Amino acid sequence: QSLLAQILQCPLRPSAQSVALPTEVLPVTSSLTFFQLAESDFASTFRLLTVFAYGTYADYLAEAGDLPPLTEAQRNKLRHLSVVTLAAKVKCIPYAVLLEALALRNVRQLEDLVIEAVYADVLRGSLDQRNQRLEVDYSIGRDIQRQDLSAISRTLQEWCVGCEVVLSGIEEQVSRANQHKEQQLGLKQQIESEVANLKKTIKVTTAAAAAATSQDPEQHLTELREPASGTNQRQPSKKASKGKGLRGSAKIWSKSN
């Protein structure tokens, strides 16, 4: 009994859980003699151990009349474990819920208890004093009872179903992406084929026109470009001729005078 009292009073230390959590003691002492404690004079001590292993401070208060009294260290430890239990269900815990679950009188006591748990690495998070809530980022795990296995199995099964749905969605998106890629490749090949055919048609047409004029195809294309440039060159000469005519008429006029 004195050994169990020391275990229950030992502070929570996640790095050394073998001397911190009562659930570490249950497997070691799970002999017939140990479980006979449940029906012996030490039944209350055995029940207190199971409360520390799986229960909360509210569970202790509900049976406080049949259980041994707690020291202040044991009380704080069970309260820390109760916060861990709440953190496993919700990550933002209102102060009102914590005050009721831990049977604390004011916010100052609650914040001191949470800060103590954070320094002990029992949980990690922040105190949102403005919104009056505890935001949990991480907390240690607690052992489970046999009756919890079915709920855990159901949760894992739902998680597996969710993973299969996500995987199916990913495969569908990959299939759509591959179809789109094939369509784009087909369109690219079609365009390249049309461009190649157009080039062939232009070449054949040019060759036929050059053959009709008995000219080389390249020379024929060159001549098709020349008229436009030749027209631009002739225009300055016309202007020049007009200028010469005016100068000549001026000379004739002066002689007549």
Q: What is the pLDDT of residues 9-24, one digit of tens each?
A: 666 555 434 334 555 5
**pTM, whole model, 2 decimals?**
0.58
pLDDT at 251: 45
DSSP assigned state of 103? T
pLDDT at 182: 92
pLDDT at 225: 59
Long-range contact pairs involving 40-44 (C-beta distance under 8 Å, separation at least 24) = 42/1, 44/68
Q: How far apart are CA 97 and CA 100, in angstroms?
A: 5
pLDDT at 239: 47
Residue 96: both structure tokens together: 């009102």
**Once rounded to an integer, what is the mean pLDDT over residues 67-92?**
90
Residue 29 has pLDDT above 80, yes or no: no
- Amino acid occupying residue 28: V
Burial level of 69, CB count in 10 A (0-12/13-18/19+)?
exposed
Edge-to-edge strand list for the sheet holding 133-139: 92-94, 133-139, 123-128
Q: How far apart are CA 110 and CA 216, in angstroms?
A: 101
Contact 80, 113 (CB under 8 A): yes
Residue carrying the six token digits 């679950």: 101
The string of DSSP codes covering 28-48 is HT-SHHHHGGGGSTTHHHHHH
pLDDT confidence tier of residue 247, bands split at 50, 70 and 90? very low
Residue 204: name the closest of 196, 227, 222 by CA. Answer: 196
- Amino acid occupying residue 93: I
Residue 16: both structure tokens together: 């050394």
- Which letter, b or e, does each residue of 80-100 get, where b requires 16 or more Cβ atoms within 10 Å of its Cβ? bbbbbbbbeeeeebebeebbe
Q: What is the pLDDT of residues 106-162, one digit of tens each?
A: 999 999 999 999 998 899 999 999 999 999 999 988 878 788 889 889 999 999 999
Contact 12, 120 (CB under 8 A): yes
Burial level of 13, CB count in 10 A (0-12/13-18/19+)?
middle
- Amino acid occupying residue 179: Q
